[in-house]
A and B are shown apart, each in its own frame.
Chain A
């Protein structure tokens, strides 16, 4: 019995490789089926933008090769996938999943999105997971929850988009229902707008130099499209302005927006300038009740939160370590029963064969004496097995059973020819 993880993540593979390895939900069953047919008792595929990992129960020696072959096909041109990845077994594999679920292995330390992704991967792979991985993923989610509850690893906004949300959240009681105005129609504007929308903010207007591009984004967000020249008067109504145009100079100037801001009646306005070079003139931030933040400010908020999260890593690692041992104790106990049964059976076969041979040579014995000899053989076997059985059960309870079991299997040739 063993557990393994084969895969790549953001530390081992560049984005262009990870993009190719990423599996859409509909592709998961076929890939898992191929891996399982190569020899594994169960499998779960975790595929996000930062990682593609196959978690395997009882993998055979060739299973990892099959995983690399599947991923290699996605790279094309005969390129090898294994050079981008890793293969971990047993405790290390369990530890890896627990760290992933806790956000310790994430690009943004402590981010919580990964926990949902682990859950989705487990649910998508449920028919092929098997009991061991079922238990492993269930416990991984509990570990993630424990780390987030008992440490401050998930607190603060540790990325620029989440820092934007955090800043707006320090001005307004609730972001849900607030109206946002988006200037620019590039990828950054779209990404940041998506973050605000996920908090319940309504994007009401998307303005861009090119009306057509603004209309395309506005349609996606259920907003109205305008050109930049038409947008300034709408500063009187919006709660949040998100600016990310590609203009080489400031487009939001004091002269353009001060009259509209003057009509707000003192309501706060949060302006998030994500553009480089900046879109918003610093003087706009001097207006009463206007809170202006540029990309440096967002990164400062994110860096501050990230530094605080790093202080929580030792506490989170301690939880992971404890939980790995707990899982391993369960797993070791699970493996003990069938191996002990087989061990006893194997030795009993030897005892029975030797007894039969001895009794043939002792044909003169009376039936009572033959019974005595047979009883002696049973007693001797039980005496021999008593200590190893107790030691193995105790080791399993203490989480050290797996190594002993492996030794026992090798010493007494308990492994079946198929390798299981």
Chain B
């Protein structure tokens, strides 16, 4: 019963991606009900699938990340009318669900200590924080593309279909400011879980390194935006650099100790 909802979600995310890409291929934009309906329906099926997973291992985490990305896509379109976000979130979520299915979404190992609720909350909040960091990266990339279009006076598809610069900058700000406390709470829950339930449990240094690094990156980005009042292009470059560093560090740590049973 894990596979069917995931396959359904994969199909609907694929459809949502095709709808997002259609205007760039010169086709008429789909009605808003459809561009919102397809990812929402996919996310609904996805929730059913994710609810049956134990969030241990690479595949379940990728699946949860894809779900959050799709929900953030819907939020971006609904609240900020930034439908271009789907250009990134659509293929990314589709790819992540596909990859999770390829790796295998069988029943995972129970986390030690029996503190399931703490553990699930820790994973959920941490992955949501990561998804918000990814959204900050996406809006930053869209910002830079639109900036280049406006400066170079090209007035092509990007000019017409991307949201205004200021709206992308605002969405980047919101993603970072919401992402930092979310990830902080996720990290604190991990500490609480380790102390309360998993005493004597072996925690891989890679988990500590990557978790701390991601938290520090997100914290720095928020500090630059909120305290140093960075905005626009400078903030966009910082968001992109931060996200790329987080992904590269993860890949480096994963290469050092391959395997899909554990996220790290």
Contact = CB atoms under 8 A, between A and B. Distances in A.
Contacts of B262: none
A103 interface: no
B229 A293 contact: no
Given A152-B28, A268-B232, A300-B153, A170 B159 contact: yes
B229 A304 contact: no
Contact of B151 (A172, A267, A291): A291
B66 to A, nearest CB: 29
A169 B164 contact: yes
B23 to A, nearest CB: 10
Given A171-B166, A266-B231, A266-B234, A156 B160 contact: yes
A297 interface: yes
B223 interface: no
A289 B232 contact: yes
A171 B170 CA distance: 12
Contacts of B165: 170-172, 268
Nearest to A302: B155
A206 B230 CA distance: 32
A29 to B, nearest CB: 44
A170 B234 contact: no
B166 A173 contact: yes
Nearest to A294: B153
18 contacts: A152-B28, A170-B146, A171-B165, A172-B165, A172-B166, A173-B170, A265-B229, A266-B231, A266-B234, A268-B166, A268-B232, A291-B151, A293-B153, A297-B153, A297-B155, A300-B153, A300-B155, A304-B155
- The interface size bin for chain A is 20 to 34
Interface in A263-296: 265-268, 285, 288-289, 291, 293
B202 to A, nearest CB: 48
Given A265-B229, A266-B231, 6 more contacts: A170-B146, A171-B165, A172-B165, A268-B232, A289-B233, A300-B155
A301 interface: yes
Which residue, A167, A173, A297, has most C-beta atoms of chain B within 10 A? Answer: A173
B155 A301 contact: yes
Contacts of A268: 165-166, 232
A170 B156 CA distance: 12
B209 interface: no
Nearest to B149: A170
A301 B150 CA distance: 11
Nearest to B162: A170
Which residue, B162, B230, B231, has most C-beta atoms of chain A within 10 A? Answer: B231
The 3 closest A-B pairs by CB, nearest first: A173-B167, A173-B166, A172-B166
A171 B28 contact: no
Interface of chain A: mostly helix, strand, loop or mixed: loop
A74 B238 CA distance: 67
Nearest to A286: B151
Contacts of B229: 265
Interface of B: 28, 146, 150-151, 153, 155, 159-160, 162, 164-167, 170, 229-234
Contacts, number: 43
A304 B159 CA distance: 12
Nearest to A290: B151
Contact of B164 (A171, A267, A293): A171
Which residue, A152, A268, A301, has most C-beta atoms of chain B within 10 A? Answer: A268
Nearest to B154: A300
A215 B166 CA distance: 33
Nearest to A152: B28
Interface string A167-207: 10111110000000000000000000000000000000000
Which residue, B165, B167, B230, B234, has most C-beta atoms of chain A within 10 A? Answer: B165
A152 B150 CA distance: 23
A304 to B, nearest CB: 6
Contacts of B234: 266
A240 to B, nearest CB: 13
Interface in A324-345: none
Nearest to B159: A170
Contacts of A289: 232-233
A172 B164 contact: yes
Nearest to B168: A173
Which residue, B159, B160, B162, has most C-beta atoms of chain A within 10 A? Answer: B160
Contacts of B162: 170
B151 A173 contact: no
A183 B191 CA distance: 61
Nearest to B80: A173
Nearest to B229: A265
Contacts of B170: 173
Contacts of B150: 167, 170-171, 291
Interface string A243-266: 000000000000000000000011
A301 B159 CA distance: 10
A288 B232 CA distance: 10
Contacts of B151: 285, 291
A173 B155 CA distance: 18
A156 B233 CA distance: 26
A297 to B, nearest CB: 5
Interface string A295-329: 00100110010000000000000000000000000
A279 to B, nearest CB: 17
Contacts of A169: 164
A333 B160 CA distance: 46
B259 to A, nearest CB: 45
A190 B164 CA distance: 26
Contacts of A156: 160
A258 to B, nearest CB: 17
A173 B232 contact: no
A266 B230 CA distance: 8
